[in-house]
Chains A and B, each alone.
Chain A
Amino acid sequence: MIKVLAIILLALMLFVGRDRGLQAFLTILMNMAILAGVVLSIVYGANPLIASVIAGILLTVFILFYQNGNNLKTRVAFTVILAVLLVTFALGLLLCRAGDAGGYSEVKINLDDGLFLDGNVSLPMQQVEIGIILLGLLGAVKDAAVAVTSAVYEVHRNNPALLPSQLFTSGLNIGREILSTTMNTLFFSCVGESLLLFNIVCYWGYSFGYFLNSKALYQVFLFSGVAGVGCIISIPLAAFAMTVVLKRKEGRSDDKTNGN
């Protein structure tokens, strides 16, 4: 089934995007190879946090510079993504610790899911959770950062006389559209992935209070919620960084952009 679907996807991508489609497909293969590397290195004893941080940086470098080329826009976007990764890493760490988000949720334990698996894996599941939160938001954050930096760049190129604050605002305007559609995408992929969970919760008649406080909901919400937060902060950050870089490059003295 997977092979057939993959071939259909490849054919469609080639048909719709030709060389760009092929490039997108190759990017996916590359992502898979890097993720496989992460999984294997963790299985053979690497620290999950360190492994996922390194993989996150590597993936950003590959996807960004392979898909969008090496230029001023992507270099700024890269810095922004790294900054966002840092912030979301701290946020993920805090929230995972505070809510003990690692390991099997109570719903899974009640279901006897994975009963045949031994718990003595000597692998801190909380760190794994933080790692996957970090990797899971890469796509969305990269999408937002690149869209905003290239929009600001285009606006500047077409109209070099614009003030820094105007440039920043035009970046935010583009970000606005990206944000609501990305939130939509994240929401539906999150719902799509946890439909069975919601089904069980209704089926067994868990109370609202129980579900609200459950680890199962917390894991799902944390995964998409932190991605959403990363996306949100990347937009003003990207608009700001690109404006500063462009104005500084112009050699103007008034590059002290006010970030309103």
Chain B
Amino acid sequence: MDQRRQRILLAVLFVCAVVGYVVVDHNDRWYTSTIAVITDIQTEHTETQSGVSIGQENYYVQTISARLTNGARAGETIQLLNQYTDSGVRDECYAVGDKLFVAPGEDGEIGKIIGQKRDTLVYLLAAMLLLGMIAVAGTSGLLASLSLFFNIVLLTIALHCYLDGWNIFALTGVLILLFTILSLLIANGWNRCSGLAIAVTLLSIGMTAALFLIVRACTPALQYQMLEYAVVPDDLSALFFCEIMVGGLGAVMDVAISLISTADELLTRNPALPYEQLRHSIRTVSDDIMGTMVNVLFFTYICGGLPEILLMLRNQLTIPFVWEYVLSFELVRFLVGSIGLVLAVPVSQLVLKLWMDRRKEMQHD
């Protein structure tokens, strides 16, 4: 019965997703900027330059005919020019059917391309994630997407608070507190398991933050102005601190909830379980997840920096330079996140021990 209901729900959601796709694909009139869809492209090879270190770079110019899809001149065909290269470091090669934001020229003059319209693709990926999560994980998938949504809202609010001049450290603290409580409560409901997991997560993150700040104070500073998307007036070292704390939060939560729910299940089955035995079970679980979680963090962080590293190395910059200005940031993120999640293991043991002791005392009274 339950399975049938889930299937019906999925079918309904799928239909909604398809309808949503059609809507997003035809939402041009909602934009105030002018949009054009490419109907024809003529490509011409203009020149070949030699590459910085190896190879050659071909330059092409696309003569694009596009049809305006919104605004007063909708339906009109305009001409656009676009230069692109084989590498595409600062340019794009467009294809027929792509939608572009344009500033169309008057009376057959050549217009200017502002950017590509990607909202349909963003929607497609988001819908795929949402539907997939609900199809595979049912209710818990729905809850997980819900908590992601709330976290995004929270993040947006926090960013506005930051721009209003809030203290970054206080904001990070509040943000981490709310992120943790919100995610764990939505995922697990209000019970002792969530309570303990929240305590473990906050303690581990706090200890990691303290550790990082101590190390930062004792070692030479990183070249923060080389951070991706750095703006000068900000306190970049503080922002970076906020970044790595939030970045490691997910992994710490993951470890905390896995360990605590294992312990919780064992205690539910056998309330008289001695602490030593519990600790042993936790060890087995933590051994399994520690290595894999560290791996997850490694790949998500280090791979993010690879394009920049490749560009720099192809520009004949030296490896020490790349290490200092790109790789060190990614490595610090990864290392601090991993320290956080490894710390979560002894912290869970500690929290469980304290909690069991207290429970025992209460039973004795």
Which A residues are within 8 Å of any B CB, using their own CB?
1-2, 4-6, 8-9, 12-13, 15-17, 20-21, 23-24, 27-28, 31-32, 35, 39, 42-45, 48, 63, 67, 95, 97-100, 102-104, 106-109, 111, 113-114, 117-126, 128-129, 131-132, 135-140, 142-143, 146-147, 172, 175-177, 179-200, 202-203, 209-210, 212-215, 217-218, 221-229, 232-233, 235-236, 260
CB of B129 to closest CB in A, whole Å: 5
Q: How far is the CB of A182 from chain B (nearest CB, A)?
A: 7
Could you give 9 example pairs across A and B, Cβ below 8 Å? Answer: A97-B95, A111-B231, A117-B89, A125-B307, A188-B251, A198-B155, A218-B118, A221-B122, A228-B129
Contact of B250 with A by CB under 8 A = yes
Does the CB pair A21–B290 fall under 8 Å? yes
B215 within 8 A of A: yes
Give B226 Cβ to nearest chain A Cβ, in Å.
9
| Bound CA–CA A17/B287 (angstroms) | 6
With the chains together, A102 CA to B233 CA distance in Å? 29
Majority secondary structure, A binding face:
helix
B315 touching A12, Cβ below 8 Å: no
Q: B50 CB to closest chain A CB, in angstroms?
A: 7
- B141 near A179 (CB under 8 angstroms)? yes
Known: A139-B295, A189-B300. A5 touches B336 (CB 8 A): yes
Question: In the complex, which range does the number of interface residues on chain B fall in?
Answer: 35 or more
Chain B residues with CB below 8 A from A184, complex form: 144, 147-148, 183, 187, 250, 253-254
Given contacts A191-B247, A203-B163, contact A100 B116 (CB under 8 A): yes
Task: Identify the B interface with A (CB < 8 A).
Answer: 3, 31, 33, 49-57, 85-95, 98, 101, 115-119, 121-122, 124-126, 128-129, 132-133, 136-138, 140-141, 143-145, 147-148, 151, 155, 159-160, 162-163, 179, 183, 187, 211-212, 215-216, 218-220, 222, 227-231, 234, 239, 242-251, 253-254, 257-258, 261, 286-287, 290-304, 306-315, 328, 331-333, 335-339, 342-343, 345-346
Q: How far is the CB of B248 from chain A (nearest CB, A)?
A: 7
Residues of A within 8 A of B333 (CB): 192-193
Tell me, in angstroms, the Cα distance from A2 to B333 when the chains sit together: 10
A124 surroundings in chain B (CB, below 8 A): 86-88
- Additional pairs, 16, CB under 8 Å, beyond known A121-B89, A180-B187, A184-B187: A1-B219, A5-B336, A32-B302, A121-B51, A143-B296, A175-B136, A179-B133, A179-B137, A179-B140, A179-B144, A180-B137, A186-B296, A189-B337, A196-B231, A202-B162, A232-B129
Inter-chain contact B211/A8, CB cutoff 8 Å? yes
The residues of A that contact B55 with a CB separation of less than 8 Å are: 45, 122-123
- B315 surroundings in chain A (CB, below 8 A): 117-118, 121
Residues of B within 8 A of A203 (CB): 163, 231
Q: How far is the CA of A223 from the CA of B183 in the complex (A)?
A: 22
Are A95 and B254 in contact (CB-based, < 8 A)?
A: no
Is the beta-carbon distance between B162 and A95 smaller than 8 angstroms? no
Compute how far the CA of A135 lies from the CA of B2 in the bound complex, rounded to whole angstroms: 38
| Interchain CB contact under 8 A, A43 and B313 | yes
Instruction: Say which residue of A4, A114, A142, A182 sits within 8 Å of B311 (CB atoms).
Output: A114
Residues of A within 8 A of B101 (CB): 213
**Judging by beta carbons under 8 Å apart, are A199 and B239 in contact?**
yes
Complex: A181 Cα to B262 Cα, angstroms: 14
Report which of B51, B140, B286 forms a contact with A176, defined as CB distance below 8 A: B140
Q: Are A1 and B328 also in contact (CB < 8 A) when A122-B55, A181-B254, A190-B300 are?
A: yes
Q: Is the CB of B229 within 8 A of A113?
A: yes
Interface pairs A-B: 7 shortest CB-CB: A192-B247, A188-B250, A122-B55, A122-B51, A139-B296, A24-B291, A180-B144
Is A215 a contact of B86 with CB atoms below 8 Å?
A: no
Residues of A within 8 A of B51 (CB): 120-122
- What residue of chain A has the Cβ atom nearest to residue B99's Cβ? A213
Across the interface, which residues of B come within 8 angstroms of A215, CB to CB? 115-116, 118
Asked whether, in the complex, the Cβ of A185 is within 8 Å of the Cβ of B296, the reply is yes
Name which residue of chain A comes closest to B52, CB basis: A118
Question: Closest CB-CB distance, A130 to chain B, in whole Å?
Answer: 11
A222 touches B299 (CB 8 A): no
CA distance A12 to B147 in the complex (A): 31
Q: Which of B159, B220, B249 contacts A202 (CB 8 A)?
A: B159
Chain A residue with Cβ nearest B296: A139
CB neighbours (8 Å) of B308 from chain A are 114
Considering the chains assembled together, what is the distance between the CA atoms of A193 and B251 in angstroms? 14
Query: Is the Cβ of B300 less than 8 Å from the Cβ of A103?
Result: no
- Please tell me if the beta carbons of B218 and A229 are within 8 angstroms of each other in the complex: no
Q: Are B295 and A143 in contact (CB under 8 A)?
A: yes
